[in-house]
Structure 1
C-alpha cells in the first residue's frame, strides 16, 4: 500500500473515532434525559429506565465495535486490491497449471466477494429499517404523539399562539428559551453556563430533589458537581429544576403548556420585560420521552388556514 493510501486510511479511521466520540457524548445526554423522566418513587419505572439505559449502552458499544471491524476489513481489502493489481501486472501464467500467484489471486477475490456480500446485507437491513420508520410515521397519526400535539396546538390557538419547532438534540429547553429571548442575546451556550453556575451556587435549593435511579438516594456533593458540569459542557436534557433556575437567572415568569393538566408556572413573582416565556411541553414527542418547543404569535396567514 502506498504512503498516500496509508495517510487516507489513517484520516478515515480518525474520522470514525471522532464520530464514535460524538455518539458517546450524545448518549450521555440521552441517559440524563431518561433519568429525569422517571418519577422519584416509582421503582418499576426506575428499573425499566435502568434496563433501557443498559440496552442503549450495549447497542452503541456493539455498533462501534462492528463499524470499526468493518472499516479495518475494508481497509485491508483495499490494500489487497492494489497489491493484487501490481502482482497481476508481473504475473507469468503458463499452460502447465495454476501458479502460486494465481492461487493467491483466487483467495483474495473470494475474500473481496465475501466483503461485498456483507455490505449488501447491511444495505438491505437499512432499507428494511427505513420502511419500518415510514410505517411508524403512518401509525403515529393515531398515536399518543399526534394526539398530544393536536391538543397543545388547540390550547395555544386559544391564545393566538402556535408551536415553533425546536430540534430534539438535548438542547431543546435552552434553545426554546433562547428563541423567545432574541432581544437579550441569550444563547444555548450562555444559558447552559449560567444555569450550571446558578445551581452550583445554590445547591441547597436543588440537590435534595436529585436522586439516583437504582437506589433512590440523593446525589452526593461530588455527583451534584458532575451533574452541574454536564449542564454546561454537554447536550444533556434540561427539566423542571433547570427551568426553575433559569426563571431566577432571567428574572422572568415561565409558563409551560401541556396537553394533560393545567399549565405549570414558575417565577410568578417576576413580571418585567424579560417575560413571560411560554413553552410547549411534549411528553410523547420522541421514543425516549419529553421535549420542549418554543411558541410564537400566529400570523394572519395562520388564521386563514384554520
Structure 2
C-alpha cells in the first residue's frame, strides 16, 4: 500500500502519464497520416514507417520505466501491483502490438526495397552520365543555345521526318501539309525523277530493270507504310516546296540540302542517333522568336 491512502501512488502516476502519452502519440500519428497527399504512395510508406517507429519507441520506454519503478519500490504490495499492471498492459496491447509489429516489418521491408531501387537508379545515372545518349542531349542543348533555336519534339513512330517537316512548313512558311500529304508528295516526286534517285536505292548494282523495280517498291512503301524517311526524302520535299533544309546533328557539321533555293525561312531539322530508343529520329527546330506566338 502507499504510505498515504489520500495520495496517488507513484505507480498510478506513472500509469496515468503513460496513458496520456499514448493518447498524445495517437493524435500525433493521425495528424501525420492525414498530412500525406492523396495518392502519394512513396510519402505514405515513409510516414507509416515513422509512425511504427514512434509507437515502438514509446512502448519500449514505458516498459523500461515500469521496470525501473519495480526495481526501486520497497513495498511488496506495490511490486505485486506493478506486476499485475504491467501484465495487464501487455495483455491489453498484445494483439495490437503484434499487429503493429507485423505491419512495421512489412513497411520496413517496402522502405528498404524503395531505398535500394533509388540507389540503383542513382548508380545507373552516374554510370550513364557520359553515355552516347546523354552526350547527344547535352550537345543539342549547346546547339540550341548557339543558334537560338527551340526543339519541337515529334513522335518517334516512323513518321518523325514528316511530322517535323509538317511543323516547319506550318510555323515557318504558313503552309499546311499532313503526314499523308508529305508522304504522297515525296513518292510522286521521286517517281517523276527516278533517274536522280535510283542509284541510291538499288542494291544490285548493274541490273537496271531490277533497280527500277526496287525503286518502285521503295516509293510505294513511302505512301503505304510508316517507313522511316531520310536524306533522299528530305531532298525530294526540298524540291517540292522549293525550300532549303538544314539538318543539325550532335556529331558533325550542319547538312545543307536545297541550297539553290534562296529562301530566308528555311526548314531546320535535328537528327538524333542515340536519344530515342527506336533509333534514328528527326525533330523540328524553331527559332526562339517563333515560339512566342505558339
Name the TM-score, length of structure 1 as normaliser.
Answer: 0.50
Please state whether the residue corresponding to 2:273 is helix, strand or coil: strand
Q: How does 1:25-174 map to 2 (within 5 A)?
A: 138=125, 140-174=128-162
Distance 1:267 1:287 in 2: 30
Q: Which residue of 2 aligns with 1:199?
A: 190
The 3 A distance-change label for structure 1 pair 205 and 145 is same
The 3 A distance-change label for structure 1 pair 221 and 297 is same
Shift of 1:137: 8.1
Q: Which residue of 1 aligns with 2:248?
A: 257
Which structure has the higher relative contact order (CA within 8 Å, separation 6+)?
Answer: 1
The 3 A distance-change label for structure 1 pair 291 and 217 is farther
Post-superposition CA distance 1:98-133 (Å, at most 9, x none) = xxxxxxxxxxxxxxxxxxxxxxxxxxxxxxxxx9xx
Q: How does 1:206-245 map to 2 (within 5 A)?
A: 206-212=197-203, 220-245=211-236
Post-superposition CA distance 1:185-234 (Å, at most 9, x none) = 1111101000000001111000101243xx67776211211110111111
Distance 1:250 1:137 in 2: 46
Distance 1:238 1:270 in 2: 22
Distance 2:237 2:191 in 1: 13
Distance 2:276 2:205 in 1: 26
Instruction: Decide whether the 8 Å contact of 1:211 with 1:217 is kept in 2.
Output: no
The 3 A distance-change label for structure 1 pair 140 and 177 is farther
Instruction: Decide whether the 8 Å contact of 1:153 with 1:162 is kept in 2.
Output: no
Shift of 1:299: 6.3
Selected match of 2:272 from 265, 279, 282: 282
The 3 A distance-change label for structure 1 pair 301 and 165 is closer
The 3 A distance-change label for structure 1 pair 244 and 299 is closer
Distance 1:301 1:232 in 2: 31
Shift of 1:298: 3.0
The 3 A distance-change label for structure 1 pair 173 and 137 is farther
- CA RMSD of superposed structures (Å): 2.8
Instruction: Decide whether the 8 Å contact of 1:254 with 1:266 is kept in 2.
Output: yes
Q: How does 1:14-29 map to 2 (within 5 A)?
A: none
Distance 2:229 2:289 in 1: 30
Please state whether the residue corresponding to 1:289 is helix, strand or coil: coil
Selected match of 2:284 from 276, 290, 294: 294
Distance 2:291 2:176 in 1: 28
Structure 2 residues not aligned, in runs of 5+: 1-116
Please state whether the residue corresponding to 1:158 is helix, strand or coil: helix
Selected match of 1:175 from 157, 163, 178: 163
Distance 2:130 2:263 in 1: 41
Please state whether the residue corresponding to 2:195 is helix, strand or coil: helix
Distance 2:135 2:223 in 1: 34
Q: How many residues align?
A: 167
The 3 A distance-change label for structure 1 pair 299 and 269 is closer
Post-superposition CA distance 1:229-261 (Å, at most 9, x none) = 111111100001111111100100100001111
